[in-house]
Structure 1
């Protein structure tokens, strides 16, 4: 399991393979996990989810951005997606990686880009979630979040349960809408928990801390044991259902997604799309061996 995870994490960071993947299109089974390469495709997928009572958070995929030109193109693509959400009248918001819009180019340049995006989204009352990336980008992501919050309360971020510092970060984010996840990057033992049991325990601890507060929380997991524990906790503590939602990734455990929505829980599906699907796809394969089987079924069904 550990070797498999490390292998796919290493592949996700290979820029040469990422460039080649753009030429392949959504082959290699990625079409099972990515909702197409253009806005029309993703809008169709979101409408199908909405018809089942499921919201969407849309990720216009893009990584390995190291120039202002690339970052500006990515920003424009995100702005077009925000316009599409409004024009199509879908129930959706945006998830954005700051490296995609220039965090590795220049901090101030990235801040200007995300301000423009947050302003456009605020005009339509659309929420913007700053996706959390690897540990090297964590503090800068939080710094940008706090720089935005005074003017744009429609912006939140992600907390990763495998990091030691996450509980302390929650203390500073009590009034911010957050998504809680276990964590999908490979981090060193100095900064993160390493065993599944420890990560699961901390994940549940952070979830319960948040649910006792007042800010909205997205609980992002495919783990039915975690989900069942959350359902039990909210019932025993009379936690209002409008204070939280469950989230899962597009293409994963689709029946459970429908069931949770049908049970009356708020539910959002993380819907990625675009040409830069490769790194996202590799991290999904790294997370769970079962995802490899899903990808293989996608190849066979072509």
Structure 2
């Protein structure tokens, strides 16, 4: 059910993106404003990244196979990197238009209609960005979360554009329109860098957050009764999946069956504490103890 809901959210993003794109291009057509044109260009990126997110989410849900035995979870990070690259490309295009507009400034037309249409598009984006951020957090989906962060950046930049265009109409300074477009581009560049930075961390097998690491160590310590020590504890995050592996030291005279029972108990407790987790435990005899890590009392 959760997987289907995530797919539905990703698919709905495409529809929402197309609606907002149409509204923003209508606002630009009514006014001829470079700032609103830059805002519309960013909405093209929103549609493209929504499509990329849907493909990535669908791919990430495929079960592990012989080709990718650890699963397809990292597909979402590739999608998020693509989102970041597309954001940066959009920013460069907007900067280009801003330069031309500054050199040949003209006052926008139909201020009330244009601002009203763009305002409606912004409200739609704000609501949907909240949905994406919440669902991305609940589903641990980097692609959905990246899409939501980008939309929220779009909301902030559009709000700034609308306020700035109000000043353009009020004081009659046509070049301010181009300046606003340039500011939108810089804001988008910063957003794109943030998305790429976070995604690269996932591709590099970054460890789980410190609080989750503490939980994992506490669970192992409290449920490893009968073992002597747990060391070389490693974690990594790949999309919604958390991978945990460590070495468990047991008495040398302990039977395979008894050590397996301890491992089963630890795994069960870890699955209760950490959702969507894959666990690998390497059992070792007591002469392999490092007297480090977690000493089981």
Quick check: TM above 0.5?
no
Instruction: Compare relative contact order (CA 8 Å, sep 6+) and give the higher one, 1 or 2.
Output: 1
Which TM-score applies when normalising by structure 1?
A: 0.24
Name whichever structure is richer in helix by fraction. 2
Which TM-score applies when normalising by structure 2?
A: 0.24
Greater radius of gyration (CA): 2
